Amino acid sequence: MKNDEIQMDIEKRLNKKQNQYLVNVIELCQQNTPNGLVWEGDELFQETKELQRDIMGLVICNRERKIDICKEQLERAFTPRIQKMLEK
């Protein structure tokens, strides 16, 4: 896969997980529980926590890929210039 395709795949997966996370949060808020609290053993609660972990992982991965792309672009832009300066 090319860098652009990988980036698009990460962003698509991130968007899908964020959408599901928001749906789950809304469903959790609408649950009628005796004390108003969501039980940690609830399947939807656990799924939402897992989605949150996945989202954080994808955000970090996305950020790292963008940093790597920027580094490559900076190296391509400035390496010839720096080499010329060092030759003097």
Helix (H/G/I), strand (E/B), else coil: 3:
helix
Confidence of residue 23 (pLDDT cuts 50, 70, 90): very high
| Domain extent listing, the chain | 3-87
Helix, strand, coil percentages (3-state) for the chain, rounded to 5, are 85, 0, 15
Q: Which tokens go with 8?
A: 């698009």
pTM score above 0.85:
no
* 28-67 pLDDT, tens digit each: 888 867 676 667 778 998 999 999 999 999 999 999 999 9
